[in-house]
């Protein structure tokens, strides 16, 4: 009788040990899925930190609107000068001065736009790196059943979202300019007509030398502003270095391995892509 009880005790101990080992192995492999989800969440969080900086205080949205309105001012100024030359020569000097001021403003805006492209990228990069440092410190873990190293930032990129035009409603007050914009295919949309993304909306005639670059940014819909948000990586599009960015993409690497059962080691990678806040409604 005692011998039977001893056999059952030994068998029970072996079974419990095997079950405990199975649980640890299962936990080890389950931890890989957990770490992958965690890495993806971190990539999204870091991308959002960078994307929020692009249109901070609606600076890209305001730049787009100032460029569009200055463009209309230059076009109208040229029309007024031509009209003064033929109908009111005495006002020619005044009309010339007003046109020159609007042209100078266009050149200043282009200079400021290029500076904003540099500043927005730098601030976004700083935000990405700062957020990455915060996230990185919470990863390293060395347990008997799971080994996780600190993640590394493989890289980050600036770009725009596919199929997102500008936040600027096409200006319809000057008929000749509207006809020109339609002929040049600068306007998109049948309801809410917007200027297309990342165009250089040159004017006709003598003012063709000026640059009016309007950038991609989500437009407000019924006065609702799009928040900074995660988007699909497939919707990311690259832009030139002198264009204003509105999407941030980051890639993280993470070395992981299991400590129990069949050894499994490798490097996980996740990409996070986020869009900036949309442009504010214009008053």
Q: What is the pTM of this model?
A: 0.85
Q: Tens of pLDDT along the chain (283 residues)?
A: 555 555 555 555 555 555 554 455 555 555 567 788 899 999 999 999 999 999 999 999 999 999 999 999 999 999 999 999 999 998 999 999 999 999 999 999 999 999 999 999 999 999 999 999 999 988 766 656 667 888 999 999 999 999 999 999 998 889 999 999 999 999 998 778 999 999 999 999 999 999 999 999 999 988 899 999 999 999 999 999 999 999 999 999 998 877 655 566 778 899 999 999 999 976 5
| Beta-bridge mates of residue 156 | 250
Neighbours of 142 (CB within 10 A): 10
Pairing of β 229-230 and β 141-143: unpaired
Strands (E) across 140-207 are located at 141-143, 146-148, 152-161, 187-188, 194-195, 199-200
Specify whether the CB–CB gap between 181 and 174 falls below 8 A: no
Locate the domains of the chain by residue range: 2-275
* Nearest to 216, CA basis, from 254, 242, 193, 243: 243
Q: Please, which residues have CB within 8 angstroms of residue 217's CB and are 6 or more apart in sequence? A: 55, 60, 61, 64, 164, 166, 167, 197, 244, 246, 276, 278, 279
- Using DSSP, state whether 203 is helix, strand or coil: coil
Q: Any idea what DSSP says for residue 142?
A: E
């Amino acid at each position: 009788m005692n011998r039977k009880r001893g056999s059952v005790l030994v068998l029970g101990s072996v079974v419990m040990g095997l079950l405990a080992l199975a649980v640890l192995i299962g936990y080890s492999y389950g931890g890989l899925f957990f770490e992958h989800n965690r890495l993806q969440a971190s990539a999204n969080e870091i991308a959002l930190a960078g994307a929020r900086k692009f249109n901070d205080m609606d600076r890209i949205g305001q730049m787009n609107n100032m460029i569009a309105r200055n463009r209309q001012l230059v076009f109208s100024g040229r029309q007024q000068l031509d009209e003064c030359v033929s109908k009111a020569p005495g006002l020619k000097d005044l009309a010339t001065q007003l046109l020159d001021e609007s042209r100078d403003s266009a050149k200043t805006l282009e200079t400021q736009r290029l500076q904003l492209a540099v500043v927005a990228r730098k601030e976004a990069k700083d935000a990405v790196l700062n957020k990455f440092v915060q996230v990185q410190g919470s990863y390293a873990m060395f347990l008997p059943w799971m080994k996780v190293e600190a993640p590394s930032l493989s890289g980050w990129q600036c770009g725009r979202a596919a199929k997102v035009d500008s936040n600027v409603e096409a200006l319809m007050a000057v008929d000749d300019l509207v006809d020109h914009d339609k002929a040049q295919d600068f306007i998109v949309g049948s309801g809410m007509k917007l200027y297309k993304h990342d165009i250089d909306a040159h004017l006709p005639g003598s003012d063709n030398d000026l640059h009016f670059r309007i950038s991609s940014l989500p437009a407000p819909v019924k006065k609702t502003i799009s928040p900074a948000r995660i988007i699909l990586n497939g919707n990311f599009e690259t832009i030139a270095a002198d264009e204003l960015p509105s999407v941030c993409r980051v890639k993280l690497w993470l070395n992981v391995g299991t400590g129990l059962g069949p050894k499994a080691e490798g490097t996980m990678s996740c990409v996070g892509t986020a869009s900036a806040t949309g442009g504010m409604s214009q008053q």
